[in-house]
């Protein structure tokens, strides 16, 4: 099957599954709604913040507060894109139609990544503008140093979260097992490792801890992270590459 036909087939699969469409819609709504809420609360409470917090107040980062939950939806999207075929048994039909497993996986990841990137970028820019509107006099603009980088980085970050989840889902094949590992990893384990002094040096190299550095324009007071925004995103890219490489290796070796 020609590459263009495989890609078209994967696009049809994603588009026809209601759960993936609803999941992406949820990522947008949650990210925007929570970002606006936190931005409005930050504006009202700015005057009572400790001096340390006011010095490091980052209006761009505040507008991205909703991404903490938005990434949950992107994780679910990445898992469902891959594991729906395993849970339904359609994977056998798909691999029979496209026996070149590398082409099959590349097409699936490419289509899903393109969709995640479009949604992620639109969400990131919308979250920024809506958040700045809520911040009022505390707001910033795209023309300020580092702001455009952070907004574009927000879209890339959400896309990489989805790609990492795809790689894990290919390796595990089960949607429940994939979500059962990814959810605690990102929302519990990563936060603990990244905030406990004894494990902070390890935690800062986890995919979400490193990748989210791109969202910040102003570093936190006392922050000693050994990499910058793009360096952090680069670390996240390496995690994504490792997950997808592991998924491909297992897909190539085992039966459907």
Query: Domain span at residue 121?
Result: 3-253
Distance CA 199, CA 116 (A): 32
The C-alpha angle 222, 228, 230, rounded to 5 degrees, equals: 150
Predicted pLDDT of residue 60:
97
Q: Distances from the Cα of 38 to the Cαs of 10, 67, 113, in angstroms?
A: 37, 11, 28
Predicted pLDDT of residue 30:
94
pTM of the shown model: 0.91
Nearest partner of 160 among 198, 197, 124, judged by Cα: 124
Cβ atoms within 10 Å, residue 176:
11
Predicted pLDDT of residue 79:
94
Distance CA 130, CA 127 (A): 5
Give the chain's residues under pLDDT 70: 1-3, 88-89, 91, 94-99, 222, 255-256
Q: Is 142 helix (H, G, I), strand (E, B) or coil?
A: coil
Element (H, E) at 185: none
**pLDDT tens for each residue of 1-31:** 566 777 887 777 787 777 888 899 999 999 9
Domains in the chain: how many in total?
Answer: 1
């Amino acid at each position: 099957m020609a590459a263009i036909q495989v890609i078209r087939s994967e696009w049809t699969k994603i588009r026809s599954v209601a759960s993936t469409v609803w999941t992406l819609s949820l990522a947008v709504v949650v990210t925007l709604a929570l970002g606006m809420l936190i931005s409005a609360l930050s504006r009202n409470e700015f005057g009572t913040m400790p001096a340390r917090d006011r010095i490091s107040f980052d209006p761009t980062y505040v507008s991205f507060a909703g991404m903490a939950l938005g990434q949950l939806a992107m994780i679910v999207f990445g898992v469902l894109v891959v594991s729906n075929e395993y849970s339904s048994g359609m994977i056998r039909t798909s691999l029979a139609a496209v026996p070149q497993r590398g082409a099959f996986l590349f097409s699936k990841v490419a289509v899903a990544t393109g969709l995640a990137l479009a949604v992620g970028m639109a969400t990131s820019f919308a979250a920024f503008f809506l958040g700045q509107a809520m911040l009022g006099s505390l707001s910033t603009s795209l023309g300020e140093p580092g702001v455009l980088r952070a907004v574009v980085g927000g879209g890339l970050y959400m896309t990489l979260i989805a790609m990492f989840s795809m790689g894990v889902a290919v390796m595990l094949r089960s949607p429940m097992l994939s979500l059962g590992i990814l959810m605690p990893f990102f929302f519990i384990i990563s936060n603990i490792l990244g905030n406990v002094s004894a494990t902070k040096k390890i935690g800062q190299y986890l995919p979400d801890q490193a990748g989210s550095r791109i969202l910040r324009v102003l570093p936190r007071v006392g922050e000693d992270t050994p990499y910058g925004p793009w360096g952090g995103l680069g670390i996240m890219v390496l995690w994504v590459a490792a997950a997808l490489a592991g998924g491909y290796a297992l897909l190539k070796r085992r039966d459907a």
